[in-house]
Amino acid sequence: MKSEFRRVALIGKYQTAVSGSVAGSARGALDDIALFLASQGCDVVLEQATAANAGITAHPTLNVAAIGEQCDLGLVVGGDGTMLGIGRQLAKYGVPLIGINQGRLGFITDIPLDSYRTTLTPMLRGEYEEDQRSLIQAQVIRGGACVFDALAMNDVVVNRGATSGMLELRVDVDGHFVANQRADGLIVASPTGSTAYSLSAGGPLLHPSIPGFVLVPIAPHTLSNRPIVLADSSEISIEVVSGRDASANFDMQSLASLLHGDRIVVRRSQHRVRFLHPKGWTYFDTLRGKLHWNEGV
């Protein structure tokens, strides 16, 4: 049976060039997957930077915008960082993504590289589960003007510099004052990001179907400052009141330096990322596997 997806884009660790044995490993994996996809009746293209970094010249290449406009599926080979980067860029096009894990933890790139053939074969025929994830839209407002605008799939993190003291941050939700928090920083995480930095800082796990944000202080001065779950229809404003060398990180992949009086305004994006998983997949399978639940039972 022919693939449900006519044109498939292969995307690897496109943000940073790789070299030596790492490049050879990446090139070998991408070549093997490309041949497999062709055997399933797919027209294969490579994302431009992926092809350049891996040294692959045997297939046509497209930039990310063209992939969004012309491809039926994106196959992402790497770790969660690779998926975060490409997921934000392709969300507005509605292209579904499948993640093959060549990294370590792999909450959203969940297909092991060594079993991709048996897993992908039925998925390409249309046997899959679809999982849609919300994105965060964040802006840095300075003097009434937007000076930085970014999307995040995991989280927006406001934190102090490596050698500076704690920050004081004023938090408002939908125009209502919540608190002035003194802490090392503050995390606003999506359900997808609830298994990332938020989890390390003591935040709760949010099922991806929950339309919410989790607000998590980092090392708060007052221990009664606890994580709180908010509706993702809310607008969250975080103002830098005091502290040195503050910055805002968006999925830890883009960075804005902050001044006193800057506000980071967080909203739900209008776009969502579409993930495809093997038939029968559930979010709880991922949690059990990645967090090692039930081991020794």
Domain annotation covers residue 284:
no
215 lies in the same domain as 190 = yes
Domain annotation covers residue 50:
yes
Domain annotation covers residue 24:
yes
- Closest Cα to residue 100, out of 275, 290, 271? 275
Domain annotation covers residue 282:
no
Domain that holds residue 262: 135-270
CATH number of the domain bearing residue 176 = 2.60.200.30
pLDDT value at position 290?
86
Residue 16 has pLDDT above 70, yes or no: no
Longest dimension (CA), the chain: 62
Identify whether the C-beta of residue 152 lies closer than 8 Å to the C-beta of residue 138. Answer: yes
182 lies in the same domain as 240 = yes
Q: What is the mean pLDDT of the chain?
A: 92
Q: How far is CA 215 from CA 90, 189, 278, in A?
A: 26, 7, 31
Out of 126, 145, 179, a domain closes at 126
Please confirm, yes or no, whether 80 is among the known catalytic residues. Answer: yes
| Residue 62 vs residue 2, higher pLDDT | 62
For residue range 80-136, list pLDDT tens digits in order. Answer: 999 999 999 999 999 999 999 986 767 898 899 999 999 999 999 999 999 999 999
For residue range 240-286, list pLDDT tens digits in order. Answer: 999 999 999 999 988 999 999 999 999 999 999 999 999 999 999 88
CA distance 255 to 248: 6
Per the structure, the count of domains in the chain is 2
The residue annotated as part of the active site, out of 72, 80, 110, 149, is 80
* pLDDT band (50, 70, 90) for residue 74: very high
184 lies in the same domain as 258 = yes
Domain annotation covers residue 238:
yes
Residue 178 has pLDDT above 50, yes or no: yes
156 lies in the same domain as 253 = yes
| Residue 55 vs residue 297, higher pLDDT | 55
pLDDT value at position 212?
98
pTM comes to 0.91
237 lies in the same domain as 165 = yes
Q: Which residues pair with 61 in a beta bridge?
A: 46
* pLDDT band (50, 70, 90) for residue 161: confident
Domain annotation covers residue 145:
yes
96 lies in the same domain as 150 = no
94 lies in the same domain as 27 = yes
CA distance 101 to 232: 29
105 lies in the same domain as 50 = yes
CATH number of the domain bearing residue 117 = 3.40.50.10330
Name the token pair of 49: 């930077």
- Closest Cα to residue 156, out of 38, 50, 255, 46? 255
Domain annotation covers residue 288:
no
Residue 25 has pLDDT above 90, yes or no: no
Buried-exposed string 126-163: b where 16+ CB fall within 10 A, e elsewhere: eebeebebbbbbbbbbeeeeeebebbbbbbbbbbbeee
